[in-house]
Structure 1
């Protein structure tokens, strides 16, 4: 993908993420132990304007990608909770009413009790989350859905696809592994190539671009 093919929405989202420190460049240790030259911190999406841009991006993916029709958005604790909630609001403004649910990390033994909150997990479910690094959190969320007899997972939407090799020895990415394992599409708002294309287009991120490309050469999947 060349820089010129990036949509205006993606450019605006990347620039807002950089401006507010959500997309950072430097040296960061990931859960996998890899040293990454960039990091996307969804926990810093805490202003109204950033949340609005994020919800619009999620809503667009949900209505213009491989994700089929769905009934409920499920946001895994913790970051997925807010992401799914704001997306449900944005979809409602567009005339599409869907349910929103999330899980607790610890079971509640008073009040309504249980680990699930929000809409009943029935019908077609889409999981909303931030970044699939090793796929652990997504697999945990899918296990929760399996406990609900009337729930059917139909897709996953994430903020960023790092396009890195996963846990298998076949050179597949975590996203490819999850798609193959569970038979559902995984759609990102951004992927690593989008970020590289943006850096190339600006011409002022030579060092960052070099570091990201070297990282991709070591850990990235083949295009």
Structure 2
């Protein structure tokens, strides 16, 4: 599997933004699956107002372009909380003012109590998160949303790694995104995918950043799925 196909301008702009922000790094990183990955995406490093605001713009553009219908946003603790809030603000700025909610890791036993914060969880819910490794966080979110009487309808993520998920330490023939879409029945939209990253690196072959292309390509050829 190699980089190719038509270019996605929004994805290319996002990859460049992630690289410039230090969120997308290259080297050797151990993943949750125990693999040695030549790149690492850490959305926690969108760590100031300007970066978070621009990130929300990318999410909002991709979500609106996807045509996915939804009634509210949900941010799973912890990384999904600021993401859902920021995306809700950006969507409102673009004319779609929607409620959002998030969960606590531990239920509160005083005040309003419970594990949910924000708007009542109702209707079709769009889950906002950074990446999906195994779909575990999405399954947990689905349980929370359904317990509130709503329906988890879709997931928006920043980066689709397009790689095999693992099941009990074994490689699966599907990715976490494919699992969530095909087995859990949720729509998924991603700002960018690994194939977009490969295109970006290939187009910067004359720069230092482009030197990472062979390692990332080899990783995709070993673990990649569409």
In the TM superposition, residue 11 of structure 1 has moved relative to its aligned partner by 2.8
**1:215 corresponding residue in structure 2:** 219
Aligned equivalent of 1:139: 139
Equivalent position of 2:121 in the other structure? 121
Q: Distance in 2 between the 1:116 and 1:75 partners? A: 10
Aligned in 2, Cα 1:6/1:62: closer, same or farther, shift over 3 Å?
closer
Find the aligned partners of 1:5 and 1:16 in 2 and give their Cα distance. Answer: 16
* Residue of structure 2 equivalent to 1:176: 178
- What does the per-residue CA deviation read over 1:69-91, in whole Å, with 9 as the maximum and x for residues that have no partner? 21110000000000110000001
Moved over 6 A (4+): none
Spell out the pairing of 1:36-75 with structure 2 (5 A cutoff).
36-67=37-68, 69-75=69-75
Can you give the 5+ residue segments of structure 2 that lack an aligned partner in the other structure? Answer: none
Question: Could you tell me how far apart the structure 1 residues matched to 2:187 and 2:72 are?
Answer: 16
Q: Which residue of 2 aligns with 1:13?
A: 14
**Native 8 Å contact 2:84 2:128 kept in 1:** yes
Distance apart, 1:185 and its partner CA: 1.0
Aligned equivalents of 2:109, 2:172: Cα separation in 1: 44
* Cα distance in 2, alignment partners of residues 187 and 24 from structure 1: 22
Q: Is the contact between residue 126 and residue 153 of structure 2 (CA under 8 Å) also seen in structure 1?
A: yes
Residue by residue over 1:91-144, the C-alpha shift from the partner in whole angstroms, topping out at 9 and shown as x without a partner, is 101111111100001111111111000011111100000000111111111111
RMSD across aligned positions (CA):
1.7
SS in 1 for 2:130: strand
TM-score (norm 1): 0.92
1:157–1:186 Cα contact (<8 Å) kept: yes
CA contact (8 A) 1:66 1:185 kept: no
Tell me, which stretches of 5 or more residues in structure 1 are unaligned? none
Once structures 1 and 2 are overlaid, which stretch shifts more, 104-113 or 79-88?
A: 104-113
Q: Does 1:33 align with 2:29?
A: no
Partner of 1:195: 197
